[in-house]
Chains A and B, each alone.
Chain A
Amino acid sequence: MTTKVRYHRPGDIVFAALVAVSIVLIVFVTLYPIFFVAIASISQPQLVQGGQVWFFPRGINWFGYEQILGDQRIWTGYRNTIVYTVLGTAVNMLVTIPAAYALSRREFAARRPLMFFFAFTMFFNGGLIPTYLLYRDLNLLDNMWVFILPSALNVYNLIIARAFYENSIPEELHEAATLDGSDEFRFFFTIAIPLSKAILSVIMLYYLVQHWNDFFTGLVFIRDYAKQPLQIVLRDILISNTAFAGGAGGAGGTGGGYGQQYADQIKYGVIIVSSLPVIMLYPFLQKYFEKGVMIGSVKG
């Protein structure tokens, strides 16, 4: 937009240079740590710790990844998280999208009180302990459904989807369909859904990431380690420093496993392995995620 406006004054040129330098610096500071984790995960740990790895991996080896892939906890955590994410997102979509559509119908007299009913929960909640006791009464403790049902509706996503339906589905379309004898169900499935693929992707990606990164639920509501999601396993490896492969009974046969210097390499590897799905989605994510923020910002 601003390309038409040209700047020639010396002050403006200095300014432009400052902008360029700062932005390059910011982008570098943002991306470099992630890049470093990636190269450190395949470099000789001694070289990493000695400060000799900066921009290229050195002493390439896959020891870290071999250890990670040989660890049962990672596999269990991965499997659990995939199950919770897929099921959870499916439930999220079934709950959120029809509700958002219904709330977008202007002739629906109950929409404002209902919107308040939903939005109020964004700012006021029962708190941790009543929630915990309720889940206990509902038999949700140590139950995989605790990852899926309580988070069935994210009000923020509901608002985004509603804003989209409100602003993007022409009222005339609805009127015409109604005249042709279409009811709300039919309009929703045959017209609203196909027209809203973009927003469906946005909301779905939001939910996917939310489930994938969920750490709190496992921490508070799950005791049984076999049901713990990836994030809890990650916590144990990355932060609590629990011993890795062979730790349980020393099955490794290498006599106590690996030396301490490999612990860091394994951590770097675990970061990559656990973030890989999101990183691979990123090219798709970035297009849609921004769209979600924009739609959400459209004031109704």
Chain B
Amino acid sequence: MAVALETKVATTPPARTRSPWPQRLRQHLSRRWQLWVMLAPAIVATAVFAYAPMYGIQLAFREFDFEAGLTGGDWVGLKYFRQFFDSPQFWQLMRNTVLISVTTLVVGFFAPIGLALLVNQVVGPRRKRFSQTATYLPHFISIVVIVGMLQVFLSPSTGLITRVMEWFGVSGINFLGDPKAFIPVYVISEVWQHCGWNSIIYLAALSNVDTQLYEAAKIDGASRFQIIRNVDLPSLVPTMVILFILTMGGVLNTGFEKIFLMQNTLNLPISEVISTYVYKIGIIGNQFSYSTAIGLFNTLINFAFLVGANQLAKRLANTSLW
């Protein structure tokens, strides 16, 4: 998962007198044209489907014009951003988005670490392997099916989980409608689905721990818990840092699909987030410029968090994405 964006390679030794660039370019192309051919489809696809929409971001600062399409009509500056900041939905959307994503990030970040440490303690390679394989099975279930399962299991009258909760004296909660239940249901089902998968990378790191460290700790009389704390956990730190930066980059990228599917009129006060709002007013409501502005606002915040987290990691842990 560590996005290894670069590999330090000794570049070709600088020639004493560099030939002019057109000549170097021609030389490069004549030697490397086959590699460029292999890259061409990927470059074209990325340019068209990832960079061309970025060009359309200007729509956030322009009036939408049906004829002009992606580039838009007259400049209106920050009008739509102001409209969003002044709108009655702004604070509610921000609160919901931050609340849902921060809870998911915190729980979703630590749960896999705990699971990995636990699975690592399972004795016997086959049992260890089984617990690992079993826990990440839900990762492959589609979001639609997950939400469908939530609906049948949490049904107030007949749901399986509702019934189990009654054993513990919790009854009369409409898990799908009650706004207070929305975030717990969302986060717990996220953990249920992805915790096992996200722990694989930590387990891989744990399997690389030098066995001599365990022997040494054992000789020093460390208990198993002390070994986890002082040997296992520190060995996970580099992986944790990288994953932390990556998650920070998605701080406002609350899972659109799952939230959208879980929404109903009862839980809307807590479940309406920026991405679902953009979809509704943009795709359904055709307010193209306004929703582009909101979407851009969201992207910029994410980007700021990513850069910030990266700087922080650089300073504190000497690790960074770039």
Interface residues of A (CB under 8 A from B): 1-5, 7, 9, 11-12, 15-16, 19-20, 22-23, 26-27, 29-31, 33-34, 36-37, 48-49, 51, 94-96, 98-99, 101-103, 105-110, 112, 114-119, 121-134, 136-138, 149-150, 152-153, 156, 158-159, 163, 166, 183-185, 188, 209, 212-213, 215-216, 219-220, 231, 234-235, 238-239, 264, 267-268, 270-271, 274-275, 278, 282, 285-286, 289-290, 293-294, 296-300
Given contacts A15-B224, A129-B282, A133-B56, contact A119 B70 (CB under 8 A): no
B292 nearest CB across to chain A (Å): 4
Whether the Cβ atoms of A130 and B115 lie closer than 8 Å is no
Out of B56, B57, B303, which one reaches A123, CB within 8 Å?
A: B303
- Which of B38, B54, B121, B223 has the most chain A CB atoms inside 10 A of its CB? B38
Within 8 A of A (CB), among B52-67: 52-57, 59
Whether the Cβ atoms of A216 and B256 lie closer than 8 Å is yes
Q: Annotate B184-203 by CB proximity to A: 1 below 8 A, 0 otherwise.
A: 00000000100011001100
Within 8 A of A (CB), among B131-147: 131-138, 140-145, 147
Whether the Cβ atoms of A51 and B163 lie closer than 8 Å is yes
Within 8 A of A (CB), among B150-166: 151-153, 155, 157-158, 160, 163
Given contacts A15-B223, A121-B46, contact A166 B7 (CB under 8 A): yes
Whether the Cβ atoms of A109 and B283 lie closer than 8 Å is no
Whether the Cβ atoms of B147 and A127 lie closer than 8 Å is no
Known: A150-B49, A231-B142, A234-B148. 20 other contacts (CB 8 A): A2-B211, A5-B215, A12-B223, A34-B141, A37-B149, A102-B35, A114-B43, A117-B46, A123-B249, A128-B275, A129-B59, A131-B56, A133-B288, A134-B70, A153-B46, A239-B148, A264-B152, A293-B204, A294-B200, A294-B204
Whether the Cβ atoms of B57 and A130 lie closer than 8 Å is yes
Out of A23, A220, A282, which one reaches B118, CB within 8 Å?
A: A23
Out of A9, A30, A99, A116, which one reaches B41, CB within 8 Å?
A: A99
Out of B4, B36, B261, B306, which one reaches A235, CB within 8 Å?
A: B261
Please indicate the chain B residues that have their CB under 8 angstroms from the CB of A209 in the complex. 140
Whether the Cβ atoms of A128 and B192 lie closer than 8 Å is no
Please indicate the chain A residues that have their CB under 8 angstroms from the CB of B12 in the complex. 107, 109
Binds A, one of B13-21, B84-92, B100-108, B294-302: B294-302
Interface residues of B (CB under 8 A from A): 1-7, 9, 11-12, 28, 32, 34-36, 38-39, 41-43, 45-46, 48-57, 59, 69-70, 115, 118-119, 121-123, 130-138, 140-145, 147-149, 151-153, 155, 157-158, 160, 163, 192, 196-197, 200-201, 204-205, 207, 209, 211, 214-215, 218, 223-225, 239, 249, 256-257, 260-261, 275, 278-279, 282-283, 288, 291-292, 295-296, 298-299, 302-303, 306
B148 nearest CB across to chain A (Å): 3
Whether the Cβ atoms of A264 and B158 lie closer than 8 Å is yes
Whether the Cβ atoms of A216 and B53 lie closer than 8 Å is no
- Closest B residue to A140 by CB, please name it: B49
A55 nearest CB across to chain B (Å): 13
- Closest B residue to A130 by CB, please name it: B56
- Closest A residue to B219 by CB, please name it: A5
Q: What does DSSP make chain A's interface, helix, strand, loop or mixed?
A: helix
Whether the Cβ atoms of B59 and A98 lie closer than 8 Å is no
Whether the Cβ atoms of A127 and B53 lie closer than 8 Å is yes
A15 nearest CB across to chain B (Å): 5
Whether the Cβ atoms of A26 and B140 lie closer than 8 Å is no
Whether the Cβ atoms of A297 and B140 lie closer than 8 Å is no
- Which of A133, A185, A293, A294 has the most chain B CB atoms inside 10 A of its CB? A133
Whether the Cβ atoms of A124 and B54 lie closer than 8 Å is yes
Whether the Cβ atoms of A26 and B257 lie closer than 8 Å is no
Whether the Cβ atoms of B131 and A183 lie closer than 8 Å is no
Please indicate the chain A residues that have their CB under 8 angstroms from the CB of B55 in the complex. 126, 130
A163 to B3, CA, bound (A): 10
A sample of 11 cross-chain residue pairs with beta-carbon separation below 8 angstroms, ordered by A number, consists of A1-B207, A16-B224, A26-B135, A30-B135, A112-B6, A126-B52, A127-B53, A188-B38, A216-B256, A264-B158, A297-B1
B95 nearest CB across to chain A (Å): 21
- Which of B131, B145, B223 has the most chain A CB atoms inside 10 A of its CB? B145
Please indicate the chain A residues that have their CB under 8 angstroms from the CB of B201 in the complex. 293-294, 297
- Closest B residue to A32 by CB, please name it: B160
A150 to B48, CA, bound (A): 8
Please indicate the chain B residues that have their CB under 8 angstroms from the CB of A103 in the complex. 39
A175 nearest CB across to chain B (Å): 15
Given contacts A2-B214, A153-B46, A215-B257, contact A220 B283 (CB under 8 A): yes
Given contacts A94-B41, A153-B45, A234-B142, contact A131 B53 (CB under 8 A): yes
Whether the Cβ atoms of B35 and A235 lie closer than 8 Å is no
A30 to B141, CA, bound (A): 12
Please indicate the chain A residues that have their CB under 8 angstroms from the CB of B57 in the complex. 126-127, 130
A253 nearest CB across to chain B (Å): 28
Please indicate the chain B residues that have their CB under 8 angstroms from the CB of A275 in the complex. 140-142, 145
Please indicate the chain A residues that have their CB under 8 angstroms from the CB of B148 in the complex. 234, 238-239, 267, 270-271
Given contacts A12-B224, A115-B6, A127-B57, contact A1 B28 (CB under 8 A): no
Whether the Cβ atoms of A95 and B42 lie closer than 8 Å is yes
Given contacts A4-B215, A16-B224, contact A215 B138 (CB under 8 A): no
